Structure 1
Amino acid sequence: MRKVSFAEFGGPDVLQLIDAEEPHAGPGRIRIAVRAAGVNPVDWRLREGQILGAHPIALPAGVGLDAAGVVDEVGAGVDGVEVGDPVFGEGSSTYAEFAVLTAWARMPAGLTFEEAAGYPSVVETALRVIGEVGVRAGQTLLVSGASGGVGSAVLQIARERGITVIGTAGAANQDYLRSLGALPTTYGEGWVERVRRFGPVDAALDLAGSGVIGELVELTGDPQRVLTIADLGAPALGVRFSGVAGSVPDALAEAAALISQGTLRIPVEKSYSLSDAAAAHVDSQAGHSRGRRVIVI
């Protein structure tokens, strides 16, 4: 099969499209014929060699955690899924024609494979960080970097839970944030004062790693009310870094339910082929996204 791999840490140019042995589903696992794979910031962070404890890397390594496709192998001890079922979920080396998943759910009706591939890690992360930062109904949450995949999910899930959300994003994405129920504002000079005009902030999430941890602490008044998924230096300021996946099967089941109810929808901003994986990483690292990027097999 064809898969994207890298043999050394570095920039997007280390990614190679290679011929590789097909993986197979062991006990408690399924294999899918991949139709689409989600592109996540963790993919290029791992490619660069950043130390993310939940995802140790041995070289050479494949790329990708999220995928949607058709089940074609079912491992021992797996119930409730059969060969031929369309599913989405998380595994490893998903930028490939076949991938083994460790967690999955049936695809909700009406979703394309391309759309479904953009949900797994994004929704798991959104559910996890909303819980970890401790925000609840009636409070206000500030989301820095709100227009990307995780931000899109956070805004919609928070709205459903009765949480007011202020979102920062580029000028081109203000209407997008508004459409997801957020109070939008731009980042850049004067952004802290623009946020203050909306009123007190109870908690804040840094989803972009754009060097705003100090300002988020200032706005909330407490580093324990701030959480980041993108700034590895945040703990030096007393702010938690959340990089460890929580209950993925539960998150996938909740994602499927939210999608089926019409509560959650994350658009696909751009699709790429396997041979364009490096370009997908360049675009992901550049930020300013609206929704998700995916690789279509």
Structure 2
Amino acid sequence: MKAVVLEEFGGPEVLRVAELDAPEPGPGQVRVRVRAIGVNPLDGKIRSGAMRDAFPVSLPAVLGAEVAGEVDAVGPDVSGVSVGDAVFGFSDGGAYAEQALTSSFAHKPAELSWERAVALPVAVETSDRVLRLLGVKSGETLLVHGAAGAVGALAVQIALASGVRVIGTAGAGNQERLAGLGAVPTTYGDGLVDRVRALAPDGVDAVFDVAGRGALADSVELRGGATDRIVTIADPGAAEHGVVFSGASERDPARLAEVAELVARESFTVDIGATFPLADAPEAHRTTESGHSQGKIVLLP
């Protein structure tokens, strides 16, 4: 099978197509013929070597945490799924390939495209985990930094569905998109504190930092100096501000299936920013790292 392999840390250009043996499913795993692969900012950080302490990688490696495809082999101790079923979920051992393994997956609704299905695993897991940590409830105001990305946009919609008021930060080109999701949009950067205070004179109850663009100091100020109820998934300087950095995954296939149905029924919106052939993984990484994509970046084998 063809796969994109990381043999050394560096820029996007270090990602190369290679021929590998197809993986064999072990206990609890299925193998899928890959139809779509999710590209995440973490992929680029692992590729660059910036995350080698937090996410040790043995080279050569295949990147990619999100996969969608048709089951073509079923391992021992697996029930409820058969060869030919359409599934999506978290990959075991990397997804940038024509075939991949997964042990944490859900069935894909027929109405849901491969691209939109593969945009869900990380966004659903991360949004649910952080919103649970923040304890936001109906009537409160949540500030989301980086609200136009794949994770941020879903977090906005989940919070709004719970009766939470959401203020979302994004670039100038994404303000209309955020308003369409139901958030109160504003731009990030200089003057953020004043802009948010104008939108929320009584303050914000919680902050979810998806972007990692150095907004933690402003977040603490907006919380009146309190560091509780601020969580980042992207800023390595969290400890310096006394803020929680959340990276531990809590995968729930049943929840994946639930949100997939909501997206299939168009109760939730999932936008695809761009798709690339598998061989163009370096360009997909460059697009992700530019921070200007309006939605999920997806590879298509």
Compute the TM-score of the two structures, normalised by the length of structure 2.
0.95
| Count of aligned residue pairs for this structure pair | 297
Q: Show the counterpart of 1:6.
A: 6
Structure-2 separation of matches of 1:72 and 1:61: 22
Q: How does 1:224-263 map to 2 (within 5 A)?
A: 224-263=228-267
Q: How does 1:122-161 map to 2 (within 5 A)?
A: 122-161=123-162
Q: Show the counterpart of 2:282.
A: 278
Structure-1 separation of matches of 2:44 and 2:252: 21
In the TM superposition, what is the alpha-carbon distance from 1:259 to its structure 2 partner? 2.2
Query: How big is each residue's C-alpha offset from its partner over 1:52-111, in whole Å with a ceiling of 9 and x where there is no partner?
Result: 777431111101010111000111111111100111110131110000012110112311
User: Does residue 288 of structure 1 match 2:292?
Assistant: yes
User: Does residue 187 of structure 1 match 2:198?
Assistant: no
In the TM superposition, what is the alpha-carbon distance from 1:289 to its structure 2 partner? 2.4
Structure-1 separation of matches of 2:179 and 2:276: 28
Q: Show the counterpart of 1:111.
A: 112
Query: How big is each residue's C-alpha offset from its partner over 1:135-183, in whole Å with a ceiling of 9 and x where there is no partner?
Result: 1111010001110000110011011111110000111111100111100
Asked if the contact 2:274/2:293 (under 8 Å) is kept, the reply is: no
Structure-1 separation of matches of 2:236 and 2:259: 27
Asked if the contact 1:165/1:182 (under 8 Å) is kept, the reply is: yes
- After TM superposition, the structure 1 stretch with the greater mean CA deviation from structure 2, 51-60 or 144-153, is 51-60
Structure-1 separation of matches of 2:108 and 2:191: 43
Asked if the contact 1:37/1:117 (under 8 Å) is kept, the reply is: yes
Asked if the contact 1:37/1:66 (under 8 Å) is kept, the reply is: yes
In the TM superposition, what is the alpha-carbon distance from 1:239 to its structure 2 partner? 0.6
Asked if the contact 1:108/1:259 (under 8 Å) is kept, the reply is: no
Q: Show the counterpart of 1:205.
A: 208
What SS class does the counterpart of residue 3 from structure 1 fall into? Answer: strand
Structure-2 separation of matches of 1:261 and 1:276: 31
Structure-1 separation of matches of 2:227 and 2:110: 41
Identify unmatched segments of 5+ residues in structure 2.
none
Structural RMSD (CA):
1.4
What SS class does the counterpart of residue 262 from structure 1 fall into? Answer: coil
What SS class does the counterpart of residue 193 from structure 1 fall into? Answer: helix
Distance of aligned partners of 1:212 and 1:120 in 2 relative to their CA distance in 1, 3 Å threshold: same
Give the AA of the match of 1:27: P
In the TM superposition, what is the alpha-carbon distance from 1:119 to its structure 2 partner? 1.0
Structure-1 separation of matches of 2:294 and 2:124: 15
Q: Show the counterpart of 1:218.
A: 221
What SS class does the counterpart of residue 67 from structure 2 fall into? Answer: strand
Structure-2 separation of matches of 1:202 and 1:53: 33
Distance of aligned partners of 1:207 and 1:79 in 2 relative to their CA distance in 1, 3 Å threshold: same
In the TM superposition, what is the alpha-carbon distance from 1:261 to its structure 2 partner? 4.5
Compute the TM-score of the two structures, normalised by the length of structure 1.
0.96
Distance of aligned partners of 1:29 and 1:275 in 2 relative to their CA distance in 1, 3 Å threshold: same
In the TM superposition, what is the alpha-carbon distance from 1:247 to its structure 2 partner? 2.7
Structure-2 separation of matches of 1:158 and 1:94: 29
What SS class does the counterpart of residue 199 from structure 2 fall into? Answer: coil
Asked if the contact 2:31/2:101 (under 8 Å) is kept, the reply is: yes
Asked if the contact 1:156/1:263 (under 8 Å) is kept, the reply is: no
